[in-house]
Amino acid sequence: MTDNQILALQPDHIAELQKRYQRALADHGYSALLISAGATPVRYGDDQGAPFQGFGPFLHWTGLTGYEHAWLLIQADTTPVLWLYQPVDFWHATLQLPSEPWQQAMDIRYIAKRALPPLPAETGQGKGLAVVGDPTLLAGVPGDHNPVALTVALDETRMHKTDYEVACLTRANNIALAGHQAAAAAFADGASEFKINLAYQQATLQRETEAPYHSIIGLNEHAGTLHYQYYDTTAPAQSRSLLMDAGVRYRGYCSDITRTYAAAGEGRFAALVKGMDLLREHLCKMVAPGVEYLAIHRKAHSGVAALLSASGLVSGISDETMVEQGITRVFFPHGIGHFLGIQVHDVAGKPVPSPAEAPFLRLTRTLEAGMVVTIEPGLYFIPSLLEPLLKGPLAQHINTAILGELKGYGGVRLEDNVLVTETGARNLSRLTEN
């Protein structure tokens, strides 16, 4: 789909948001909603702040990730009003608003000061007004600030993606896949983590500050740290494996893709990666309307148990008992995935808490058409988790020789972004890669 074809979907997207938000406001007794885009706090004792990306509800309407101190007012049967902060400034370049169809559905105004814009008379008195945003920026703003029930309802408006959102998520995946391919080539050439990251950025044409999250790039043992946050500037003497978890933003929408590669000649680990890829494919095919996401998580643990048995890493115990006794949680400690959208870990995923068996699961809903989720099975060799297992009564089932060999690879994770359709699923992370 071309950029123009994606932009052509914006008017219907805005019209749908009008319906969803007005319904949420009416259901909770409000006539207007004021959204703060947010702003970057200045670091203590400094005059610099962190990169700014914006508050989710503001991005939901505009996709504008760099616009601090902006406001959006939504009222029933009224054109939304968007105030953009545009100071007279010779220190910084002025942000240029891209010409896109969604702007035709809004009354766009500019303000020169970091202050609350002039609201309509009745709204300005706070009558029927809800305000959502960073509480530190809402001092002196009339209305009810971040009302819990309404906030939950607004979060739920983001569960089911419009055609425009699906198109943006698809494009974000395509861009990220190009980056992953460049990163894989850099790994094959023996590059350091730092240079692998540069290859990814060059292919995606996005700076680190624009990325939806800090790219995870782990060579060898570093892959065993789930959110490994550093980039070694020097390549190891031998690069045995690469785990890379990285995405991009496109018009505010995120991709979140993980790939793991084994270097040539790394037979046992390469077999593990291949087995994990088959498991990933099976789990992605489970995605469909009416499926409990927790069921996919449980199936992932069954699959990890099968891989542990097939690799010879665990023996003398059934796959079912491995899951029941918690052995698989040592090797696969995180949840199978989460919602994806304007945020990487998108909102509204947990109407009920995660179960005791899966404390880190970020999504506990039954899947419905229009939802976009990640599927990310993994198997890791994490010393802090392995130590209690190796000292406990189940240690007799662990082949320490094979474990010692595999620990040098850190682990494997594979992650795709999957759209729930009316009849099944569409894998957004495999559309161009194959």
- Whether 134 has a pLDDT exceeding 60, the answer reads yes
- Mean pLDDT to the nearest integer, 74-84: 94
pLDDT at 432: 54
pLDDT at 271: 97
Report the percent of the chain where pLDDT is more than 70.
99
Distance CA 269, CA 321 (A): 24
Q: Cα dihedral sign for 263, 269, 271, 272? A: negative
Q: Cα dihedral sign for 323, 325, 327, 330? A: positive
Sorted by sequence, the CB contacts under 8 Å of residue 326 that are 6+ apart come out as: none
pLDDT at 256: 99
- Whether 177 has a pLDDT exceeding 70, the answer reads yes
Q: Helix (H, G, I), strand (E, B), or coil: what is residue 49?
A: strand
DSSP 366: B
pLDDT at 77: 86
How far apart are the two ends of the chain, measured CA to CA in Å? 17
**DSSP H/E element including 245:** strand 241-246
- Mean pLDDT to the nearest integer, 66-87: 94
- Mean pLDDT to the nearest integer, 82-94: 89
- The mean of the pLDDT values for the chain is 96
Q: What is the DSSP string of 271-295?
A: HHHHHHHHHHHHHHHH--TT-BHHH
pLDDT at 434: 35
CATH, domain 163-427, list 3.90.230.10, 3.40.630.30, 3.40.50.970, 3.40.1130.10 = 3.90.230.10
- Whether 96 has a pLDDT exceeding 90, the answer reads no
Is this model's pTM higher than 0.85 or not?
yes
CB 409 within 8 A of CB 220: yes
- Mean pLDDT to the nearest integer, 40-45: 92
CB 419 within 8 A of CB 426: yes
- Mean pLDDT to the nearest integer, 202-217: 96
Instruction: Provide the CB-side half-sphere exposure for 414 (13 A, CA).
Output: 20
CATH 3.40.350.10 in the chain, residue ranges: 3-156
Closest to 380 in 3D by CA, of 409, 414, 359, 415: 409
**DSSP H/E element including 179:** helix 163-188
Q: What Cα–Cα distance (Å) separates residue 122 from each residue in 32, 231, 317?
A: 10, 53, 69
Q: Write out pLDDT tens, residues 254-288.
A: 999 999 999 988 899 999 999 999 999 999 999 99
- Whether 11 has a pLDDT exceeding 50, the answer reads yes
pLDDT at 198: 98
Alpha helical stretches, state H, 86-192: 121-124, 148-156, 163-188
Distance CA 92, CA 83 (A): 19
CATH class of 3-156: alpha beta
Length of the chain: 434
* Choice between 296 and 52, residue whose per-residue pLDDT is larger: 296
Distance CA 432, CA 230 (A): 29
CATH 3.90.230.10 in the chain, residue ranges: 163-427
Q: What is the CA radius of gyration of the chain?
A: 24
- Whether 207 has a pLDDT exceeding 90, the answer reads yes
CB 262 within 8 A of CB 250: no
